[in-house]
Amino acid sequence: MKIAVFGLGYVGMTAAACLSKLGHEVIGVDVSDEKVAIVNAGKSPITEPGLDELIARAARKGLLSATKDPGGNLDDCAMAIVCVGTPSAPDGSHNMSFVVEVSHHIAELVGPHRATPLTIVFRSTMRPGTIEELVLPIFEDTLRDRIGLVELVYNPEFLRESVAIQDFFNPPKIVIGTKDGQRCAALDELNASIDAPVFYTTYRAAEMTKFVDNTFHAVKIAFANEVGRVCDRLGISAVTVHKIFTSDTKLNISPYYLRPGGAFGGSCLPKDVRALQYIASDVGAHTHLVDSLLRSNDAHKNFLFENCLKAVPAGGQVLMLGLAFKENSDDLRESPNIDLARKFLQSNIHLSIYDPHVEPSKLLGQNLGYAFSNLPALRKLLIARSVAESELFDLVVDTRGWAKNMALRTKWIIDVNTLS
């Protein structure tokens, strides 16, 4: 199958590379000249374990290329997959401008003489009703009596950064939203080799799925961290309490996201919690638990910082291990580690950061903008491992569990992930 993937960020780039591994011919489409050039050179524009190898192999086989303008190539494609960003707007809702732009672009490129409909799969997180009320009208207005030349589908992704390739081929589930809730032949063919439960449903139910998942992950993290803070105040081991709690698989749930430790962050959870808050307010629902999640998460960031501050003298030296929000990633968007770094700097603490996956010159797009708007001195703060292991620090803040494998010179080490 020939497939166009619009948006070469974490989701789109992973999808493009994995689809090419399955033998599909993939054309990546992005507005960034730099991303297009990197992909066409057989490299990955993002940091994700295993992605460079997949892209290089696909480029050698002629199965993966990138362009800013798919032009006439779209008529040769059986499917277009939309993976553009839906970042938070100032009011907390999702900014749908990229979805609108790419919908107009695709609609204008659909030729009048297609033999079969173009299946257009939207994977970007969006408010329930978006396909019916925003996307479909764009295609209807552009194509008019040719609307039968496209098939719109909503298919949310469940990829975790740093294990995205594994999650692509082994997802927890496949959710497919169609106009009537019936099957989509093109996606059935695409997913034929993937072993996962498949749910066909309406657009709105499929759109809601991602909000439910991400908000529940945020609930679990906030709950676990609140329990962890109570344990800390009472002198109880949060690790022990977590082990006992998650051992109960009859009444409790899986241990994922339920370990007291770092605050949640990244490109999905905070954004989607805000968007669900906005939706709930807009429709008159009263989501008091959801409304408290970001405040609870901010409280945990302050708790972690205050614990760290106890171990640092005025004007002291601090080393942070890990800045991106997750291991093996350079994604800095809403990373709680950036908030922690900023608090140290605001308190006149001398800060150094070691994260081998973060290279400022390689940051692109929203990741680049977020990094330097929130931590302008990023380039000066980052140090090499040799420097991290040679200098003396009053405190090492370990967000990754790296300290045990490093020869560090320090008085104190705080492991954020275990609150110890």
Q: In which element (H, E) is residue 378 found?
A: helix 378-381
What is the rounded distance in angstroms from the CA atom of residue 188 to the CA atom of residue 193? Answer: 9
Name the 3-class secondary structure at 390: helix
- Are 80 and 3 a contacting pair, CB within 8 Å? yes
- The alpha carbon dihedral of 45, 46, 50, 51 has a sign of negative
What residues are annotated to the active site?
Answer: 268
Strand order in the sheet with 350-354: 350-354, 317-321, 392-398, 409-415
CA atoms within 13 A on the CB side of 31: 9
Q: Are 78 and 186 in contact (CB under 8 A)?
A: yes
Nearest Cα to Cα of residue 17 among 50, 74, 34, 32: 50
The burial class, CB within 10 Å (0-12 / 13-18 / 19+), for 100 is middle
The alpha carbon of residue 55 and the mean position of all alpha carbons in its chain are separated, in whole angstroms, by 20
Give the neighbor-by-neighbor strand order of the sheet with 198-202. 64-67, 25-29, 2-6, 79-82, 118-122, 150-154, 174-178, 198-202
| Cα distance between residue 391 and residue 379, in whole Å | 18
Tokens representing 138 are 């764009």
| DSSP bridge partners of 319 | 352, 396
Q: Three-state SS for 173?
A: coil
Residue 58: CA atoms inside 13 Å, Cβ hemisphere, count?
31
* Cβ neighbours of residue 375 closer than 8 Å, sequence gap 6 or more: 332, 338, 341, 342, 381
DSSP assignment string, 15-55:
HHHHHHHTT-EEEEE-S-HHHHHHHHTT--SS--TTHHHHH
> C-alpha 132: how far from its chain's center?
25
Q: What is the CA radius of gyration of the chain?
A: 23
